[in-house]
Structure 1
């Protein structure tokens, strides 16, 4: 039983003979109607292929290719458009892996799905141009950020979809985002940082905290802890303080603006040590002065 037909060898041959006679009849009528020779041949080939495919079952593509190759329907030309990160060779290899050798057997939908499964390709379209050409148009992902999740790094697009693993070099200028859900939420902070170009250039990483808010880690080691609500308003205050007092260039480790009514600044361990040393020296000086004070 194949595709609903149970044909013994003798009945199979009879089926093929009858199908062929019907095809010949179609060809004769097309000829009498003065249709272009190409259209007549294509119709005959497709009809014949369908008949054989039904008869044998499961081998339609091979039969279509067997019919199409000698009649000039082989895929001899492939145009690839829109690719930048994806090489034309990789596109062609993916097309060949569909198994089709002629336009008759090529399924544009399956070819498109295979192309869109490639790392850099976001969308693709596949068009058959008879007799022997395939036209492929692709839209590639645009790299948006480098995402660190655990010990792994990936180049991602605006939607947070992984494109390719990150390797140092080409994408070093992309913002670095850190955290399990950071990729999907990155636009909420990275796009808004366009308003602060000077500060943006000093950010080493955007760290997602508790799937709720962001910390900015600056290249000089200072961390800015932003609130969950209205983080840009808080950041505006930090930028203003930096312009007035060079806050972010001082010997500090953290600027905490999570509370709306205050800014908390924490010193670096070295600054704390030096501060304690200065306080200790002041205490010694005061004690000495008290001892030296006349009675």
Structure 2
């Protein structure tokens, strides 16, 4: 056999020695990957294994595959990319794919925004989902106060949320918003769809509404006549009634003033007498101003 010549040196080409068949020597054999592994796992599924048994079998395959990769080099990169993708596909072949998403604790409007934020799609490999990253996306939805995500194998995801409670419609500086129980604006909430919520008006009205609204709710007669709560100088409230009357509350102890108003209404129907203004700012005096200077039912001079 001719010699291989390079420069002045001569090296005879010799046939390579055959690889030893003894255990522990020679080149390690890579485990089956990709379609082969998937087909084996799928075959296990067709063999009548339960989902739990299939999960155990697939887990064993994953362990062997990771061990082989760590022994042949490539390590973190291959484990992070090739193996992860291959295992996702393998488990998907066994039925571990997203088939149902249940959103709990959210209204219909909020549920739509939550699902859109997750970016989930049908038949997505369920084991490859990053639940922490998904929770972060859900928490960015303006409706959501808190969220928890649970993976129910083989094919279901549960997104349990605590939704921000709508408290009032807030009007300020020519804009109208829906605010939650903490006075924070819910950006995606359309005020037109929350006509049943009380209307609060003015600077600071959103932040202080939660303090007075329960007292209003506890007095149905007043609530039925109420048009809006107006925050005055961010210190106190005026109650604007549907008939145009104005009830002025004090800056402190507004609960006592509302109780006084309720008692007067039960005794003398003060809210039905058509006063232009009922002033409760002084706890010792209730001052009223008739509309146009004439009390309802009172005769005008001359009988006119």
| TM-score bucket (shorter structure) | 0.5 to 0.7
Unpaired stretches in structure 1, ≥5 consecutive residues: 1-16, 24-33, 283-295
CA contact 1:122–1:139 (8 Å) conserved in 2: yes
Aligned to 2:103: 81
Counterparts of 2:171 and 2:237 in 1: how far apart (Å)?
14
Is 2:190 aligned against 1:166?
yes
Counterpart among 262, 286, 289 of residue 266 in structure 1: 289
The SS at the match of 1:138 is strand
Counterparts of 2:173 and 2:67 in 1: how far apart (Å)?
57
Could you tell me how far 1:131 is from its partner in structure 2?
Answer: 4.8
Is 2:62 aligned against 1:38?
no
1:103-182 matched pairs, under 5 angstroms: 103-163=126-186, 164-168=188-192, 170-182=193-205
- 1:161-202 residue CA offsets vs partner (Å, 9 max, x unmatched): 22344343x422211112232222112111012332111111
Is 2:216 aligned against 1:193?
yes
- 1:118-142 residue CA offsets vs partner (Å, 9 max, x unmatched): 2333322112344544332223233
Is 2:89 aligned against 1:69?
yes
Report the CA distance shift for 1:167/1:234 in structure 2 as closer, same or farther (over 3 A).
closer
Counterparts of 1:189 and 1:183 in 2: how far apart (Å)?
11
Counterparts of 2:88 and 2:277 in 1: how far apart (Å)?
71
- 1:8-58 residue CA offsets vs partner (Å, 9 max, x unmatched): xxxxxxxxx99x68x9xxxxxxxxxx993132134456778998683379x
The SS at the match of 1:36 is helix
Report the CA distance shift for 1:129/1:151 in structure 2 as closer, same or farther (over 3 A).
same
Report the CA distance shift for 1:54/1:86 in structure 2 as closer, same or farther (over 3 A).
farther
Question: How many residues align structurally?
Answer: 248
CA RMSD of aligned residues (A): 4.1
Could you tell me how far 1:112 is from its partner in structure 2?
Answer: 0.9
Unpaired stretches in structure 2, ≥5 consecutive residues: 1-26, 34-52
Could you tell me how far 1:218 is from its partner in structure 2?
Answer: 0.7
- TM-score, normalised on structure 1? 0.68
The SS at the match of 2:141 is coil
Counterparts of 1:135 and 1:172 in 2: how far apart (Å)?
32
1:5-44 matched pairs, under 5 angstroms: 36-44=56-64
Report the CA distance shift for 1:92/1:172 in structure 2 as closer, same or farther (over 3 A).
closer
Report the CA distance shift for 1:61/1:139 in structure 2 as closer, same or farther (over 3 A).
farther
Could you tell me how far 1:104 is from its partner in structure 2?
Answer: 4.5
Counterparts of 1:216 and 1:117 in 2: how far apart (Å)?
36
1:198-213 matched pairs, under 5 angstroms: 198-213=221-236
Greater mean deviation of Cα atoms: 132-141 or 221-230: 132-141
1:220-259 matched pairs, under 5 angstroms: 220-259=243-282
Report the CA distance shift for 1:143/1:166 in structure 2 as closer, same or farther (over 3 A).
same
